[in-house]
Amino acid sequence: MPRARKGNAPGRRGRPRAGGARSNVQPESPSSDDEAASEVLSHYSSTSEVASVTEESSGNDVVDDQAQQEELEEKLKECIDNVTDKSAKTRQAALESLRLAFLSHVLSDLLLDWRLTLTDSLEKCLKKGKGEEQSLAASVLTLLCLQLGSGPEGEELFHRLRPLLISILTDPSASLGARNSCATALGMCCFIAAVEVEDLISCLTCLEATFTGACGEEGTVALTPLQPLHCCALQAWALLLTICPSSHIQRVLRSQMAQLPRLLSSDNVHLRIVAGETIALLFELGRDLEEDFPYEDTDSLCSMLRDLATDSNKYRAKADRRRQRSVIRDVLHFIENGECHEETIKFGMECMYVGSWARRRTYTAFKEALGSGVGHHLQNNGLLRDVFDLGPVLVHDAAAIKANKISRFEKHLYNSAAFKARTKARNRVRDKRADVL
């Protein structure tokens, strides 16, 4: 019996050509029977295939998981050793590998034994490294703090490396990429691990001094290459405001509500968007303290926001204009009506709701730090589940989840059928002979 083509649907077997089978096929031999049986089994439907695999290989899954865990540990050990290598290229490659590993895995228990060694290595990279190496080290530091959580280990890590982050952030001679990463790392690590209010206030003050430089004299927006740094500092500052005591919030409202609207006239679209989101956050925090939050220039602010919400300047990229209009419309609607756009975040078999600007800023910060791994961490990282009130980590039955999944080929067949049905329906409407009501 000839082999069926790879593209055949599950359950469909290849048919012999007219005139018989090939001459070298001998159905009566035992080896040919085995080949025929394996061919038949390979074309079972995906449901029976998954069920049989689940029954036969349930014990092998445990062995495979252990082997994968051991392999991961060996790779991590090798990367941690390479972070102290003499070659800058080797150190950067090791830092990048650690960053990717921290994004896609929850390694809290494993890192408890290696945290001191890794902390020493990151400290050396931040002190003696240049440019890209410092930027990568700050990113790995953020993810390491996220892995260790808000316990004593995370607090110790934050206290040890906070002065170094501030030093690089405020150093004009340091590379811009390193300063951006240090601003983000300072905000994230403080949010996760700071216990004392004094630590929180000192980080807020440092970040505020950084982005305040975006406004030049007489309220104009400085056109400098430091605007990406101002964006990172403003985002980190806004994140820390979400956990700030009310007494400090009142001081911030008095000092910054007159400054932040000036950033809406920046030529950097990202800075305009971040400024608009931060203004909405300040209005939300102010209304939490006082229901009728007093702001004298509300009309002027809303007029500026309306202009940005309908911005159609052709010299700006279409994607930038679309994103700016979307965000600024939400900001304007919240300031005028007090209603925040609600967003649903789905991950695994769960979902959560983002219905406030404080929660939105927090989720965006973790999403930018974790990238594509944010869904995995929302499912399995206890820190994120505590931050977003998701409860303890859910224990899923891996065999049941695997049995409920459909194969990639079945997805392809389903999508093809849906595409054909959609095309037919649209063609009927597009036909010039169709009646238009």
Between residues 355 and 410, the one the model is more confident about: 355
pLDDT of residue 146: 95
- What Cα–Cα distance (Å) separates residue 415 from each residue in 10, 47, 425? 16, 19, 15
Q: What pLDDT, on the 0 to 100 scale, is given for residue 413?
A: 85
More confident of the two residues 245 and 38: 245
Range in 164-168, 198-202, 296-300 with the lowest mean pLDDT: 296-300
Whether 349 shows a pLDDT value over 90: the answer reads no
Segment 203-217, tens digit of pLDDT: 999 999 998 866 655
Q: Which domains does the chain have, with CATH numbers?
A: 79-216 (1.25.10), 364-424 (no CATH)
Position 110 scores a pLDDT of: 87
Name the burial class of residue 435, with classes exposed (0-12), middle (13-18) and buried (19+) by CB atoms within 10 angstroms of its CB: exposed
pLDDT confidence band for 52 (50 / 70 / 90): very low
Is the confidence at residue 314, as pLDDT, over 80?
no
Q: How far apart, in whole angstroms, are the C-alpha atoms of residue 142 and residue 138? A: 6
Using one digit for the tens of pLDDT, what is the confidence trace for 374-388? 999 999 999 999 999
> Which of 189-193, 322-326, 431-435 is predicted most confidently?
189-193
Q: What per-residue confidence (pLDDT) applies to 92?
A: 95
pLDDT of 12 above 70 = no
Length of the chain: 437
Q: What is the pLDDT of residues 264-277, one digit of tens each?
A: 988 888 999 999 99
Average pLDDT over residues 54-63: 51
State residue 423's pLDDT score.
86
Q: What percent of the chain has pLDDT over 70?
A: 78
Largest CA distance in the chain: 95
pTM above 0.85, yes or no: no
pLDDT at 70: 84
For the cut 60, the answer to whether the pLDDT of residue 48 exceeds it is: no
**pLDDT computed for residue 113 by the predictor:** 87
Task: Quote the pLDDT of residue 225.
Answer: 79
pLDDT for residue 22 is more than 90 = no
Mean pLDDT to the nearest integer, 6-34: 42
